[in-house]
Amino acid sequence: MIDYKKKLAPLSLQTKSIFSGHPIAIAGLIGFVMFVLIALLAPWIAPQNPYDLMVLDIMDGLLPPLSKLGNGTTSWLGTDAVGRDILSAVMYGLRLSLFVAFIATTVGSLIGVFLGLLAAVKGGWVESVIMRAVDLKVSFPGILLALMMLAIFGTGVDKIIYALIIGVWASKARLTRSSALSEMQKEYIDAARISAIPNWRIMLKFLLPNSIAPVLVMIPMSLSGCIGAEATLSFLGVGVPITEPSLGLLIANGNDYLLSGKWWISIFPGVVLVSLVLCINVVADRIREHNNPFLKSMNMQ
């Protein structure tokens, strides 16, 4: 019997071999999990709801960190011009930034993997149309493409997700296609074909699980890329709406006050943004290093 389905090592085992002996990567992972928890729990742990204009008091505006608010509570990280508590705004901003990046990375990767598999299986004109489109996308810097999209469709949370998806899919399609093509040379696919298993089933059941590994390795990198891109676009004022600030927009709001010494409005969201991206990137670097057969063989020498 041909063992046509390669089994990936159990996830727990893989995680252990990726992270053991790499304290920086472990710290990154812990940091990332912490940020995700804060983002998920923001509505319950944030001192106020920064989107609710009713709770904001203009009299509390521009207070430095550790000030007492009008309602008697302490604002640990200060307030912005409309009296929004920075700690709460950062928590909600983190929530929005992560949400946008997660959706864009997931949907973009799914589209990319699907198109890559389709190109590999179908071949012919389907393949050349898909791969031409990939070339088109890859030859363009992502930030310009996103600006172009936002210029066309206008701004908003949904629009920025579309713009980011456009940035994510192409590299995934290219990777999936090349790894699927090399899988298709193998005997288990021939065996499946001979057994008269329909094409779509071969694609989903056999090719997908065996050619997805290189894409999975890239996902953390895409996630941090999306977070950075969203922050940049929101900072430039073509991203999320002013009523629902993400980390990038919070920084932009505070930027006008930086020169007058009111540093806390920008600095706190910025520190959170950089820490978040850094946490993801050190994990991403470690995962890539772990999955690079070349580097692995080198370390054994």
Among 96, 161, 168, 231, binds another protein (CB under 8 A): 231
Site string for another protein, 183-222 (x = CB under 8 A): ----------------------------------------
Residue 258 touching another protein (CB under 8 A): yes
Residues forming beta bridges with residue 79, ordered by sequence position: 85
Nearer to another protein, 61 or 237 (CB): 237
CA distances from residue 164 to 11, 96, 161, 229 in whole angstroms, order as listed = 28, 14, 5, 8
Distance (Å, rounded) from C-alpha 249 to C-alpha 231? 7
Find, among 214, 209, 202, 140, the residue nearest to 172 by Cα. 214
Nearer to another protein, 44 or 294 (CB): 294
Nearer to another protein, 118 or 226 (CB): 226
Q: How far is CA 86 from the centre of its chain?
A: 24
- In angstroms, the first-to-last Cα distance of the chain is 37
Residue 140 touching another protein (CB under 8 A): yes
CA dihedral 149, 154, 157, 162 (to 10 degrees): -20
Residue 34 touching another protein (CB under 8 A): no
Nearer to another protein, 244 or 285 (CB): 285
Q: Of 34-42, 159-167, 199-207, 271-279, which part binds another protein (CB under 8 A)?
A: 271-279
CB of residue 36 vs another protein: minimum separation in angstroms? 17
* Residues 171 and 218: beta-carbon distance below 8 Å: yes
What are the φ and ψ backbone dihedral angles of 279, each rounded to 5 degrees?
Answer: -55, -50
Distance (Å, rounded) from C-alpha 279 to C-alpha 227? 12
Residue 259 touching another protein (CB under 8 A): yes
Residue 240 touching another protein (CB under 8 A): no
Which residues in this chain contact another protein in the complex, by CB under 8 A? 135-136, 139-141, 143-144, 147-148, 150-152, 154, 224, 228, 231-232, 235-238, 248, 251, 255, 258-259, 263, 266, 270, 273-274, 277-278, 281-282, 285, 294-295, 298, 301
